[in-house]
A and B are shown apart, each in its own frame.
Chain A
């Protein structure tokens, strides 16, 4: 009985979570322009989506930004995690950790505004006409991605045998060789998940981008926000239905892979 109540409750929660997604998918196939009355099945919004050059530019912008910022943040962040891991001074270590936490603790709007003010301030100093552009947007994205990369890599470093690097040196590797041949491969799962996290955070970010981009560079979230009051056209729903499907497939595959490796581990023990 108690169990049944629990299950009904959980079912309702999932229903609520998925209602807007279902609405989105459903009306992306509407043959009419309306997103509240279903007139009939059609794929015309998908066709329109791919023929709209604005949407494609926006999509490309979003991907370029996400890839660039995620890759840079991963390289710098992984290096930073290694640096933090080997730090011996507790005071310096905790101040670096504090600073690293700031972008995660601060509301996005504060991070966005503070970075924008920095860019405007510097822009005025050097007399630039327009201080916000793709460069500032990229800097902002790298900045909010960095802590998440560090957060993903540090635990992996803590998990690896501290003697691995020494073992490699003992067998004749220079410290640099030891890092690339032994340490990096063993923290790779953390680096990859950091990269993925940075990539998705960047794809998704609206608030910080809103304050730090110039008028010429629009990403998908900004584009959606700017379609002001008028009802959303089903072509956006079509776009997000595609994104939703991609996410779902991706999560399913990674989940199945995870389950396989878990099973293998269990057999081994």
Chain B
């Protein structure tokens, strides 16, 4: 395993469906042994990217490299990558053993070796003793495991996973997240994982690729992506954020909400208009007199670990997460430490996100585009 080597490279990939651009000049390098997550909402092009790597789709423009070898025109069955499909795509007419053995049989592997390798895989995914079961009689989690075994038995260099956990319930999902991560570490192979769930992405990945509208928005480690979002889209998509219009007065001094704050950012032109991100958990609520900003609590929601409080400051609604209760209508002060402030360059997403004046979970769902399975 060589961590410096790129096992997969996508160069200037463009894909259009019926005149609509689905992937727009996409560039992506994936290092050997990495757990990479393509993260984005439906229609962002993440599944399309996966299908290009798998060979189900030829890009209209651009090149695909595996180990620096050009793979354009190489059909799916000749590529050394395997895929876990969203709804597993298990073969209904075969039992568990035959599903896992499928790829080996196609390769005309000797029977004894097939038996050995299939059982080894079934052990790895905790499905010992299920070999003779019909796949339609398995639970969702078990089907998932069969799909993993079926792909991994071929010892691929890269495993592609297309929202593999989306059909599972929350509890099982968390378990499978851990299990997938453990399998990946144990086998040391590269995982390319597609999801729309930011928590899943943050907890599993070495590297996250945030995508939107067929373009890469940011590539980085989960911590980088969360702490240093590159634009308002990423800041909004990953976690909750208050995103404010601001101006960079000089290095380490940002002004927003009518006040100037100490911050850790530099390198902007003096007076440059910027987006300022403040995470809800980084704001402290104090007495009105002691705060840097002053506002009125307009709503309080109990979330279990914390309260989610919306504070109106000069018409902008802030979201603040705190363990202290403050009643609706109360006047409060806010303290924002320098390391809680993150300054970003203006982008086309500026002003689209980050105000909680119309916020509600239901509104979010209603505004979300309908889940499109293939996001093509």
In the complex, A touching B (Cβ < 8 A): yes
- Residues of A that sit less than 8 Å from B by CB: 161, 163-164, 166-175, 177-178, 181-182, 185-186, 268
Q: Which of B55, B87, B91, B103 contacts A182 (CB 8 A)?
A: B91
Other A-B pairs beyond A161-B85, A171-B77, A172-B154, 5, CB < 8 Å: A163-B86, A167-B91, A174-B75, A186-B91, A268-B136
Given A171-B102, A172-B107, A173-B106, residue A164 in contact with residue B137 (CB < 8 A):
no
Which residues in window 67-105 of B have CB below 8 A to A? 75-77, 81-83, 85-87, 89-93, 102-103
List chain A residues, Cβ under 8 A from B81. 170
Determine the distance from Cα of A166 to Cα of B56 in the docked complex, in whole angstroms: 7
Q: Which residues does chain A contribute within 8 Å of B83, judged by CB atoms?
A: 166-167, 170
Report whether B75 and A169 are in contact in the complex, using a CB–CB cutoff of 8 Å.
yes
Q: Determine how close the nearest CB of chain A comes to the CB of B89; give it in whole angstroms.
A: 4
Is residue B334 contacting chain A, with contact meaning CB distance below 8 A?
Answer: no
Q: List residues of chain A with CB within 8 A of the CB of B91.
A: 164, 167-168, 182, 185-186
Chain A residues with CB under 8 A of B103: 171-172
**Complex: how many Å from CA A171 to CA B82?**
7
Decide: A169 near B89, CB < 8 A? Known: A177-B106, A268-B137.
no
Complex A-B: 5 CB contacts under 8 Å: A166-B54, A166-B89, A170-B76, A173-B102, A185-B93
Given contacts A163-B85, A170-B82, contact A186 B93 (CB under 8 A): yes
Name the distance in Å between B114's Cβ and chain A's nearest Cβ. Answer: 13
* Cross-chain contact B76 with A166 (CB below 8 angstroms): yes
A166 close to B85 (CB less than 8 A):
yes
- Docked-complex contact A163 and B106, CB < 8 angstroms: no
Distance from B75 Cβ to chain A, minimum over Cβ atoms (Å): 7
Within 8 Å of chain A (Cβ to Cβ): is B150? yes
Q: Which of A168, A169, A186 contacts B92 (CB 8 A)?
A: A186
**In the bound complex, do residue B85 and residue A167 qualify as a contact, i.e. CB atoms below 8 Å apart?**
yes
**Those of B132-182 within 8 Å (CB) of chain A:** 136-137, 150-151, 154
- A170-B87 CB under 8 A given contacts A177-B106, A185-B93, A186-B92: no
Instruction: Tell me, rounded to whole Å, the shortest Cβ–Cβ distance linking A183 to chain B.
Output: 10
What are the residues of chain A within 8 A of B92 when measuring CB–CB? 186
Residue of A164, A170, A172, A268 with highest tally of chain B CB at under 10 A: A170
Q: Which residues of chain B are within 8 angstroms of A186 by Cβ–Cβ distance?
A: 91-93
Contacts of A177 in B (CB 8 A): 106
Q: A171: which B residues are within 8 A, CB to CB?
A: 77, 82, 102-103, 106, 150-151, 154
Q: How far is the CA of A268 from the CA of B82 in the complex (A)?
A: 31
Choose one: A166, A168, A175, A268; the contact of B102 (CB below 8 Å).
A168
**Set of chain B residues within 8 Å of A164, measured between Cβ atoms:** 89, 91
Contact partner, A173, options B77, B85, B89, B137, Cβ 8 Å:
B77
Residues of B within 8 A of A175 (CB): 75, 77
Q: For residues 203 through 262 of chain B, which have their beta carbon under 8 Å from a beta carbon of chain A?
A: none
Residues of A within 8 A of B93 (CB): 185-186
Collect the chain B residues with CB atoms within 8 Å of residue A172's CB. Answer: 77, 103, 106-107, 154
State A69–B182 Cα separation when bound (angstroms): 57
Which of chain A's residues has its CB closest to B76's CB? A169
Given contacts A170-B83, A171-B102, A268-B137, A161 and B89 within 8 Å (CB-CB):
yes
Closest CB of chain A to B107's CB: distance in Å? 6
Q: Measured between C-beta atoms, what is the minimum distance from B160 to chain A in Å?
A: 8
In the bound assembly, the distance between CA atoms of A170 and B99 in angstroms comes to: 13
Rounded to whole Å, the gap between the CB of B44 and the closest CB of chain A is 20
Residues of B near A161 (CB, < 8 A) are 85, 87, 89
Q: How far is the CA of A167 from the CA of B93 in the complex (A)?
A: 14
B106 nearest in chain A by CB position: A172
In Å, the complex CA distance between A177 and B78 comes to 13
Q: Which residue of the partner chain B has the closest CB to A269? A: B137
Closest to B134 in A: A268
Q: Which chain A residue lies CB-closest to B85?
A: A163
A162 to chain B, nearest CB (A): 8
Q: How far is the CA of A171 from the CA of B151 in the complex (A)?
A: 7
Please name all residues of chain B whose beta carbon is closer than 8 Å to the beta carbon of A181 when the two chains form the complex.
102
| A171–B76 alpha-carbon span in the complex (Å) | 8
With known contacts A170-B54, A173-B77, A163–B137 Cβ distance under 8 A:
no
* Contact assessment for B87 and A174 in the assembled complex, using a CB-CB cutoff below 8 Å: no
Bound-state Cα–Cα, A236 to B262, Å: 103
> What is the distance, in angstroms, from B132's C-beta to the closest C-beta of chain A?
15
Inside 8 A of B87's CB, which chain A residues have their CB?
Answer: 161, 163
- Complex: how many Å from CA A175 to CA B150? 18
B55 — which chain A residues lie within 8 A by C-beta? Answer: 169
Shortest B143–chain A CB gap in Å is: 12
A181 shortest CB reach to chain B, Å: 8
Q: Enumerate chain B residues within 8 angstroms of A178, measured Cβ to Cβ.
A: 77
